[in-house]
Amino acid sequence: MQSYYTLIASLPQLPREFDDGPIPISAATLRHRVSMLDHHDRQIVQQVSDFFRWDRQPRDRSDVEIRETHRRLVAEIRHPLVAQVVHHRFEMRMLVAALRCQRGGLPPPVFPDLPLAVWIQRHWDEPCFRLNERFHWLARFCQAIEDHQPRRAQWHLFTELWNHWSRLNDQYNFSFESVVLYLARWEILHRWASQNEQRGRQRFNDLVDDILRTGGVNC
Amino acid sequence: MDEPMVEMLGRIGIYAPLFLGAIGSILGCAAGGQAACGAMLDVEGGYGRLIGVSALPSSQTIYGIVVMLSMNGSYQIQAAPGMFAIGTLCGLALLFSGWFQGKCCASAIHATKSKPEVFGLSVAPAAIVEGFAVFAFVFALILAGGLPSAAGGS
């Protein structure tokens, strides 16, 4: 029986909100800590990491390619929580893609094989595809798009993901699922922080100033 | 039931509190110890108290030793079923209390790591679990005292 006490306890607490402060652990340190897992768990973590890397895709991928990736992932992924994380992320991507097409007056894109796709196609001409009740973030997201505020729209997406994964995390304690959800939430932190170059540069300068002021570096 | 079988049950009852209590301590201390080791990678000081908390489930083994010694005197064969029942059930209580106390300790270590000021309160759940182990221990001693010819018995 694999035990996760050491790994979970070695991971620093994530902030309460994803836009609340710096990332508490670097990518290199996180990789090093995750290397405590056994081979089987590392493979699952690799699947999660690969998915997130793919999720940061360049925009020139075709709908058919995305659909094929979804099919491949559904066939490959065996861990129920990882499947749930991927499913939830695909649903959000699909909604965002559908909204963009709808606003641009384009026909519905080629969707992955998900039950939600049928619903969206059936309600294509209706505002927010009549999904406001099921996806509460959708109205706020649409409003941000209408206000030409892409960063705010992204913030709403990340807030939904962050809250969903934080709620899931509350169900687990010192288990592999906690590790997966930690990685998923760390990914949001990292993506959000990567978007804010100006703030990153300011923080770096502040850190350098702090070190120089306290004499932390001996030349 | 054959007399050797009854005697064997009695012997199991004598050893069960220590055996099961030790398993509880092993599981509990392992959980707490692993969490303490992990936390030490993430904090800059206060290592001693992390290790101290992780050792809390050791007490179940001590309770097991005391119950075992209290029943290990000369006894009559009629006392064997009673010794089996008391020893095994007390041992099970010690096992679960040690195991789950370890989980409480791991959570306390995890909480203390990010918020050192809650150290005292975070150990309270582990102390409450310990309280139940003490109940099982004390009443096992009292009941064992009432067995025919057991130590202190009638």
Q: Which of A14-23, A124-133, B74-83, B145-154 has the lowest mean pLDDT?
A: B145-154
Domain hosting A60: range is 40-205
**How high is the mean pLDDT of chain A?**
83
In chain B, % of residues over pLDDT 90 = 71
Name which of B30, B38, B114 is nearest A8 (Cβ-Cβ): B38
Q: Do A174 and B106 touch (CB under 8 A)?
A: yes
| CA-based nearest distance B115→chain A, Å | 10
The pLDDT assigned to A203 comes to 67
Q: Do A12 and B114 touch (CB under 8 A)?
A: yes
pLDDT tens digit sequence for B66-95 = 999 998 876 778 889 999 999 999 999 999
Whether A19 is in a domain gets the answer no
Whether B150 is in a domain gets the answer no
Whether A76 is in a domain gets the answer yes
CATH of the domain at B86: 1.20.120.610
Q: Do A5 and B38 touch (CB under 8 A)?
A: yes
**How high is the mean pLDDT of chain B?**
91
pLDDT tens digit sequence for B25-49 = 999 999 999 999 999 998 888 889 8
Domains in chain A, number: 1
Whether B90 is in a domain gets the answer yes
pLDDT tens digit sequence for A58-115 = 566 677 777 778 888 888 888 888 888 888 888 888 888 888 888 888 887 777 777 8
Optimal mutation site among B110, B114, B122, interface A, most CBs of chain A within 10 A: B110
Specify the residue for token string 């199991």.
B12
Whether B131 is in a domain gets the answer yes
Domains in chain B, number: 1
Whether A16 is in a domain gets the answer no
Whether A186 is in a domain gets the answer yes
Whether A60 is in a domain gets the answer yes
pLDDT tens digit sequence for A111-139 = 777 788 888 888 888 888 888 888 888 88
d(C-alpha A18, C-alpha B92), whole Å = 44
| CA-based nearest distance B45→chain A, Å | 14
Residue B30: its chain A contacts at CB < 8 A?
3
Whether A12 is in a domain gets the answer no
Optimal mutation site among B26, B37, B41, interface A, most CBs of chain A within 10 A: B41
The pLDDT assigned to B143 comes to 93
The pLDDT assigned to A214 comes to 64
d(C-alpha A46, C-alpha A50), whole Å = 6
Greater confidence (A7 vs A211) lies with A7
Q: Do A9 and B31 touch (CB under 8 A)?
A: no
Average pLDDT of the segment spanning B96-110: 95
**Alpha helix locations (H) across chain A?**
5-10, 27-34, 39-55, 63-76, 80-103, 115-122, 137-146, 150-169, 176-195, 197-214
Whether B153 is in a domain gets the answer no
Q: Which of A18-22, B41-45, B61-65, B86-90 has the lowest mean pLDDT?
A: A18-22
Say yes or no: ipTM exceeds 0.90.
no
Residue B150 has pLDDT above 50, yes or no: no
Name which of B35, B41, B42 is nearest A5 (Cβ-Cβ): B35
Q: Do A10 and B103 touch (CB under 8 A)?
A: no
CB-neighbour burial class of residue A75 (10 A; exposed 0-12, middle 13-18, buried 19+): exposed
Whether B20 is in a domain gets the answer yes
Domain hosting B131: range is 3-145
Whether B151 is in a domain gets the answer no
Alpha-carbon distances of A159 from A129, A190, B57, rounded to whole Å: 21, 14, 40
Whether B41 is in a domain gets the answer yes
